[in-house]
Amino acid sequence: MSADGKLSTRERRQVVISGVQDFNRVDRLKAGSDAVMVGIGTVLADDPSLTVKAEECRNNRIRRGTNEQPIRIVVDSMARIPPNASVLQKGTGQRIVAVSKQADAEKVAQLRKLATVIEAGADRVDLESLMDELGEMGIQRVLVEGGGTLIAGLIAAGLIDEIYTFIGNIVIGGKDAPTLADGEGFSLESEFCRLTLIEVHKLEQGVLLHWAVDHST
């Protein structure tokens, strides 16, 4: 995020906020995860491939007996993901698209040719059921790369264990620019997501904060 807590511009245009060291850190985190997850908003705005880039990291995964790429998961209630999305087309390994019962049957049938489709939730993806299903598939460690709407949903459902925030040296501004946790927000103090600070690390021209989510309240 930027120094003022924004993930992108108010037009939802992708912005380079961090440098090569932070990029490599995220690449290593990805490589250490069973799966990488994003919301459909991020796929439509940024078209990320979510692949692990460093050859050494990919080789380490193969040596551990896993696919060179973590499983890539898109949360997409209405199956809006374009078939040519980079996340479906680039790199090897399994893709999962989570949809709701409202998703168009024809779109879902097409999608099944490119990805494993999990149906969870009536009109929006039920994140708790999705996580249960992923757990049953042996997926234990999921790295969520955004955006703010999905992260807010996961926090509200109590499904996040740790948060890394890299805060870079730019101000993006704009009251409508995405932030780490968008969605509806919490109004009661009892609903706030409480964090414990694990580590602070200066990285290039920014700071990396590592938080644990306090599930006790």
Ligand X SMILES: NC(=O)c1ccc[n+]([C@@H]2O[C@H](COP(=O)([O-])OP(=O)(O)OC[C@H]3O[C@@H](n4cnc5c(N)ncnc54)[C@H](OP(=O)(O)O)[C@@H]3O)[C@@H](O)[C@H]2O)c1
The yes or no reply on residue 124 touching ligand X (CB under 6 A) is: yes
12 binds ligand X (CB under 6 A): yes
Among 3, 29, 57, 78, binds ligand X (CB under 6 A): 78
Letter for the amino acid at 147? G
88, 134, 145, 168: which one contacts ligand X (CB under 6 A)? Answer: 145
Q: Does 128 bind ligand X (CB under 6 A)?
A: no
Closer to ligand X by Cβ: residue 71 or 118: 118
Query: Judged by CB under 6 A, does residue 70 bind ligand X?
Result: no
Answer yes or no whether residue 148 interacts with ligand X by CB under 6 A.
yes
* Pairwise CA distance, residues 151 & 139, whole Å: 18
| Residue 37 C-beta: closest distance to ligand X, Å | 9
What is the binding site for ligand X (CB under 6 A)?
7-8, 12, 14, 17, 38-42, 45-46, 75-78, 80, 124-125, 127, 145-150, 153, 178, 182
